Structure 1
Amino acid sequence: MRQSGLNVSVAALLLLQLVLLLTVGALAQQHDFPPEQVIVNLDLPPKQRWTQVATKYSAQIQATVNFLKQLIPMHDLVLPVANVIGADIDNYLPMPYSDEIRGVAEAARITLGEAVLCNIIYDITSFCTSIVAQMGNGTIIHARNLDYGPLQGVLRNMTIEVFFQTNGSTLFYGTTFAGYTGILTGVRPNVFGVTINERDMGNILENALQALLKKEAVPLSFMLRDALANDTVTFESAVRFYSRTQLIAPVYVIVSGTQPGEGVVITRDRQYILDIWRLDPAAQSWYVVETNSDNWNPGQDIRLETAHKSLDALGPNGINPYSIYQVLSTAPVLNNGTVYTTVMSASHPEWFSTMVRLDIPPYP
């Protein structure tokens, strides 16, 4: 039940205190931990798929909404536009996402506008490091840190591994946040893996909402999930799809496959592909690292420089799930804003592993 006046302020304060206690309790342990694993049953009506997750994490979801209202200039544009989209959600967001977001809003006891905001903000405001590398035996491995500065404390307690199933079989899986129906980190077993990194180009949140109002583009994380859910998808067809779909915001899409050489970084603006950067082991380009800058103009990014040095020191024969995790655990690639680290390989589904990061090494 949503109330007004003083009761709203008191309820919001109590909610924030609850989530801070949860966060501090986890932080006090100062140990990395694996997130909860959940199943989303795609055979259920979309509105029911996330009910159990959103109900369990409702306090954290509500606290995130309240934090966002303080963090973003909500009242002049952002929240009113999100409310417009929420009020007519079927005309702005495709199925099944519109109904899934309805279900999240009801279970978490937030408005549809707030649920819309939560379902687009993570994929356009996160700072990340993604790596695709070819091991000495030709195996492709893909790993990422997801960094999210101001919200990292809350998000660490909302990180989940989701296995999307139909008829009891897993079609694809990934790492996401409770209440968030899209995918930022995902794998279609034996086909491809994918991550996205923010490409910061201007007042990105307001522009993204305006793009949604024009009904010409889709949220980035929905695009990722659409390809992961496609039964006929291949590595190359996924690359083409991610290169051509009109988006609400610029982005880097990092895609890995199962065969030698299958690794790319796609640099996108909202409408067009700007660059595609592929693995080329024959030319000694056996890995790609993407943070949050164009590969032809990286500037001075200490995360990028540190990752390059670590990978060069290892070489192709030194790369494996453990060593690439260590690369992503080296400061400042791993930093105070890092929420989680995922290691995965489409050709080795058993390698999929996520750790929520609390043990942050000091950076000299």
Structure 2
Amino acid sequence: MIAQAELINLEGIRETFISRTMKEQEMISGGGPKSLKIPKFEIDLEEDPYTRWSEPTIYFKEQIIKLHETIISFVPWSIRSIFWMVTKYMEVFSPKTTGLGELNHQLFREFEGVSDITGIPLADVLTANFVYELFAHCTSIVAIDKTDSIVHARNLDYPIYESMRNDTFDIDFVKNGELVFKGAGTGGSTNSYTIMKPGAFAVSINARYHNDLPGLANSLSRWFMESYNPGSLLIYVGEHANTFEEAKDMLMNMPITSICYFTLSGVEIDEGVVITRDRTGAKDLWPINPNSQSDWAIYQTNYDHWENAPERDNKRAATVKEGLVEIGRDKMTVSKILKRILQKPPVLQYDTIFAVTMSAKKNLFKIHAYI
């Protein structure tokens, strides 16, 4: 049984990280963040899952080891032991599964590939990939720009930024040698939390906070019940959905391991929505409205948009709203969202790993990684 002290410990870790991040905002210079050049890799969706992520894993091997050591150091042994047992179960039984279970087996095979290349125990790779979701805090924005095109941008913030600064890469997901969709990745993770399918849609994921260890246990149990973790669902949607409506239906209804927010944009002026997700389905939809004075732009941080902003949001949502009003729809561009909102504290955090600007209509996908 999980000790209460351990449960409090992991909750306190995240709050400590976020608190420290808030206090260190003054360290960000007025000139904005310093950019970092990142590599690009092709991920072949038809390749054996065991070798699918080999190139970025080899490239980032040392950073991945450091990152996993940091993450695992915060996880109580009682939780690690559960993942060890899960690993042993998956090694024996997952090759026999079909349907969604087969897809989770493929994800497990990807973890095996990362483990064998890095030397990190397989159970710890599995643990880290589930724990990723506990610490992330993000900002996503979809807006109608001055040309009446849909644009989409996001920040990905991660409080253990010291271990993730040089861990970002650009992804072309391919099939039969042809580009299917684009994504942003971090070494050691076989998921993507930001994708864009040219001429169709773009999606970003934001964490929706919950009690850490109970949430972690629930996530793991739902994985056994053949649910996707949100990052692997995004890859599935990128591969199989061909329109905004198809992507919306999948993101609203497919079972997931962890509650989250999906921010989805398309190519038409009315194709934008924030989907607030429970594990079994959509809890709320906030659609873009081209005829509205306010909802021509929608945005999401890490709390339900109909609730009052919690202290931990650090006025990020309020700053986004102010920035959108200040720029205005008639002067809106995706570069202004980046420079005047995403790169402005407190939306820009000391632990912001990267931003992405994208538009499925304009075939735009650019990662802005920070030192």
TM-score scaled by length of structure 2: 0.83
Q: Which residue is 1:210 aligned to?
A: 221
1:194 aligns with 2:210: no
Deviations 1:298-348 (A, max 9, x none): 425401111111110111122212101111001000011211111001112
Q: How many residues align?
A: 324
Q: Which residue is 1:44 aligned to?
A: 47
Would you say the 8 A contact 1:54–1:179 is kept in 2? yes
Within 5 Å, give how 1:344-359 maps onto structure 2.
Answer: 344-349=358-363, 351-358=364-371
Identity of aligned residues (%): 28
Would you say the 8 A contact 2:146–2:333 is kept in 1? no
Deviations 1:270-320 (A, max 9, x none): 113110000012122110010001111042540111111111011112221
Aligned-residue CA RMSD (Å): 1.8
1:87 aligns with 2:88: yes
1:114 aligns with 2:115: no
User: Helix, strand or coil for the counterpart of 1:38?
Assistant: strand
In 2: Cα distance, 1:206 partner to 1:355 partner: 34
One of 336, 340, 346 as aligned partner of 1:332: 346
Q: 1:183 to 1:329 in 2, by over 3 A?
A: same
In 1: Cα distance, 2:209 partner to 2:356 partner: 23
In 1: Cα distance, 2:302 partner to 2:88 partner: 33
Q: Which amino acid aligns with 1:309?
A: E
Q: Which amino acid aligns with 1:342?
A: V
User: Helix, strand or coil for the counterpart of 1:170?
Assistant: strand
Within 5 Å, give how 1:71-86 maps onto structure 2.
Answer: 71-73=74-76, 75-77=77-79, 79-86=80-87
Structure 1 stretches of 4+ with a deviation exceeding 3 A read none
Q: Which residue is 1:361 aligned to?
A: none
One of 164, 167, 172 as aligned partner of 2:176: 167
In 2: Cα distance, 1:273 partner to 1:146 partner: 22
In 1: Cα distance, 2:37 partner to 2:298 partner: 26
Q: Which residue is 1:153 aligned to?
A: 162
In 1: Cα distance, 2:144 partner to 2:308 partner: 22
Q: 1:272 to 1:357 in 2, by over 3 A?
A: same
Q: Which residue is 2:190 aligned to?
A: 181
Would you say the 8 A contact 2:158–2:351 is kept in 1? yes
Quote the offset at 1:173 in angstroms. 1.2
1:55 aligns with 2:58: yes
One of 112, 128, 150 as aligned partner of 1:102: 112
Deviations 1:194-215 (A, max 9, x none): 0110111222333322333x42
Q: Which amino acid aligns with 1:41?
A: D
**Long gaps (5+) in structure 1:** 1-26, 359-364
TM-score scaled by length of structure 1: 0.84
Q: 1:223 to 1:345 in 2, by over 3 A?
A: same
